[in-house]
Amino acid sequence: MKKFGTLVTVLLLAINISTAQKQITQGYVKMEITDVTTDNEQLAMQLEMMKGSLTEIYFDQNTSLTSSDMMGGMIKMKTFTDREKDNFDLTFDMMGQKMWINEKLSSMGSDPKKVALENSTKVTVDKNNTKTILGYKCYEFTVTSPELEGISVKGYLTEDIKAVKGLLQTFPSLELAGFPIEYSLVNPTMSIKMTSKEIKTTVDPSKMVIKTDGFKKLTMAEFQKQMGGMGGFGF
């Protein structure tokens, strides 16, 4: 169970790296888990189930919705943020166990542990290491922190899509120079690679809604406790 919790923790972080705002103020990005690796035989089967999992991101000037369907439908998660209304919603459905968390965006970065994490975060880029993905020219970036216990984020971002603060829920004040079109999350036991498969410069407003009917409302602290404390990285 502990290893499964570690897996979902990294997965939650992978999902929440993707909230972004296009320079034209609206858009849609579809991302897929395209590769997973591990030296741990016990995790290998679970990781293989994650391949092909999709994350869809809808965004406009003030709001964004991220919807993820993972592990063959075993885990479904949505996050909705409204920067103008200072609102954050998260719905989490794991094999029928449905939970809903509602918080103020402004309060999510006030935790002392998260502040310490932000202060130790290091972002490095290599603009000489480039590649083109879906027609966008990208360069390499890396995010590390000694507080993250071996987890790092490494991939390629494009400055043609402007990212906003809060790109990583773990780092509410972190602002990258662009949107990470392709990246891997790596910890000492596994690696998860996410790649953009589709990018649109328009968004369907009807998609920018999160439904909470049938979900049990919890505080973030209650959610973390119920999930065995696995929210330490992404939440």
The pLDDT profile of the chain, 235 residues, written as one tens digit per residue, is 444 555 555 555 555 554 444 454 678 889 999 999 998 888 888 788 888 989 898 888 788 888 988 877 788 999 898 888 999 899 999 888 999 999 887 776 666 666 676 677 888 999 999 999 999 999 999 988 877 778 888 999 988 887 655 544 545 556 678 888 899 988 888 898 999 999 988 888 888 889 999 999 998 888 877 776 444 334 3
pTM value? 0.80
Domain that holds residue 28: 2-232
**Per-residue pLDDT at 111:** 65
Please state the domain count of the chain.
1
CATH of the domain at 109: 2.50.20.10
3-state secondary structure string, the chain?
Answer: CHHHHHHHHHHHHHHHCCCCCCCCCCEEEEEEEEEEEECCHHHHHHHHHHCCCEEEEEECCCEEEEEEEEHHHCEEEEEEEECCCCEEEEEEEECCEEEEEEECHHHCCCCHHHHHHHHHCEEEEEEEEEEEECCEEEEEEEEECHHHCCCEEEEEEECCCCCCCCCECCECCCCCCCEEEEEEEEECCEEEEEEEEEEECCCCHHHCCCCCCCCEEECHHHHHHHCCCHHHCCC
